[in-house]
Amino acid sequence: MSTKKTTKTTAKTAATKTTATKTTTATTPPAKSAAKKTAAPAKKAAAAKKATAPAKKVAAAKKAPAAKKATAPAANKAPAAKKLPESHAALVRRARRINRELADVYSYAHPELDFENPFELLVATVLSAQTTDLRVNQTTPRLFAKYPTPEDLAAAVPEEVEELIRPTGFFRAKTKSIMGLAKALRDDFGGEVPGRIDDLVKLPGVGRKTAFVVLGNAFGVPGITVDTHFGRLVRRWKWTEETDPVKVETAVAALFPKSEWTMLSHRVIFHGRRICHSRKPACGACPIAPLCPSYGEGETDPEKAKKLLKYEMGGFPGQRLKPPPDYPGKPAPPLAAG
């Protein structure tokens, strides 16, 4: 009995092993099949990449010529021509044309200080520093009524002179200047205003600007008066870039014949006061706009620009209480009515 059981047990064990082997053998192919299934999509993806790579290259190759075509015209375009600087000859022509245009517009241009003789003009010009010609014209009638000659002014009481010229501002310094020049005229020039610039600039309070005002308007000696208006406008017109008055004077003098210097000064100053203002130039009402390289700095609308015009061009009184006979504007009111 024991032997039979052992044999049966052995047989069962062998059968079990055989079954396990068959089972293992039977399950192996599905594992391989799964691997194949997993590998298949990967191969397809790789194949797809290979397939799309050339397509991308082709697309890129197709786009490349298009980009070249787009940029080709730009490359073929000639570079923008640089604006050549204005030659001296061209500058002279433009500057003289501006002067002619201003002469047509301001045919009545004149010195805007009231005076009866060289002494009055000299004193009035010194007083005009840091104030308007109008304020000077409103102040000098009482001054000249009391001190009509250099001798009278030289002997005046300083405090009384200060009170008379107070409306012009800086009255203490100006009193010192006008009394000093009056004494110099009395002591060194026989009570007469000299007609030479070298003599004039030696007088207290008298610089080149004042000297040229007196020489040009009291003696008929040509000169360029570089005040704030004149300097501002000639720089706007690119006649010069200088800011020093003496250098401005030299640069502008080289553009015009001497005979034009005095009237040129009046025309430019008139234009600066009436149209080409410092802060809001009336570009839209400017007669020389086509010749001005700074056109557009101010108001360009014609109607708005007209509202910016001053003095006779805007219908307002001028700066002189006693203007020349050909002046088209209204005389300024005296100080009491101002």
pLDDT digit string, tens, across residues 70-107: 444 444 555 666 778 899 999 999 999 999 999 999 99
Q: What is the mean pLDDT of residues 161-179?
A: 97
Tokens of 43: 């191969």
Instruction: Give the confidence band of 337 by pLDDT, cuts at 50, 70, 90.
Output: low
- Between the alpha carbon of residue 288 and those of residues 104, 221, 282, 307, the distances in Å are 11, 28, 11, 18
Distance CA 92, CA 125 (A): 30
Return the higher-pLDDT residue of 67 and 172. 172
* pLDDT at 279 exceeding the cut of 90: yes
- Between the alpha carbon of residue 48 and those of residues 34, 35, 40, 235, the distances in Å are 21, 20, 12, 74
Arithmetic mean of pLDDT over the chain = 84
Residue from 114, 133, 174, 209 carrying the catalytic annotation: 209
State the pLDDT at residue 7.
41
What is the tens place of the pLDDT at every residue in 119-152? 999 999 999 999 999 999 999 999 999 999 999 9
Respond yes or no: is residue 301 known to be catalytic: no
Q: Which of 88, 84, 144, 92 is nearest to 113 (CA)?
A: 144
Residue from 199, 227, 306, 310 carrying the catalytic annotation: 227
Q: Output the pTM of the full model.
A: 0.75
What is the percentage of the chain residues whose pLDDT exceeds 70? 75
State the pLDDT at residue 83.
74
* pLDDT at 236 exceeding the cut of 80: yes
Return the higher-pLDDT residue of 108 and 42. 108
State the pLDDT at residue 75.
46
* pLDDT at 221 exceeding the cut of 50: yes
What is the tens place of the pLDDT at every residue in 299-313? 999 999 999 999 999
Q: What is the mean pLDDT of residues 42-64?
A: 45
> Running DSSP on this structure, what letter comes out for residue 312?
G
* pLDDT at 32 exceeding the cut of 80: no
Distance CA 317, CA 168 (A): 19
Backbone angles phi, psi at 317, to 5 degrees: -60, 150
* pLDDT at 56 exceeding the cut of 60: no
State the pLDDT at residue 77.
53
State the pLDDT at residue 148.
98
* pLDDT at 49 exceeding the cut of 90: no
DSSP, collapsed to helix, strand or coil, labels residue 218 as helix
* pLDDT at 16 exceeding the cut of 60: no
Q: Which of 27-36, 89-98, 169-178, 238-247 has the lowest mean pLDDT?
A: 27-36
Distance spanning both ends of the chain, measured CA to CA:
155
Tokens of 205: 């309070």
Distance CA 62, CA 261 (A): 72
Are residues 283 and 302 in contact, defined by beta-carbon separation less than 8 angstroms?
Answer: no
* pLDDT at 45 exceeding the cut of 80: no
Tokens of 250: 């030299």
Are residues 153 and 147 in contact, defined by beta-carbon separation less than 8 angstroms?
Answer: yes
What is the percentage of the chain residues whose pLDDT exceeds 90? 74
Q: What is the mean pLDDT of residues 45-67?
A: 45
Which residue type does 132 have?
T
Distance CA 315, CA 296 (A): 24
State the pLDDT at residue 335.
87
- CB burial readout 171-198, b (16+ within 10 A) else e: beebbebbbbbbbbbbeeeeeebbeebe
Respond yes or no: is residue 227 known to be catalytic: yes
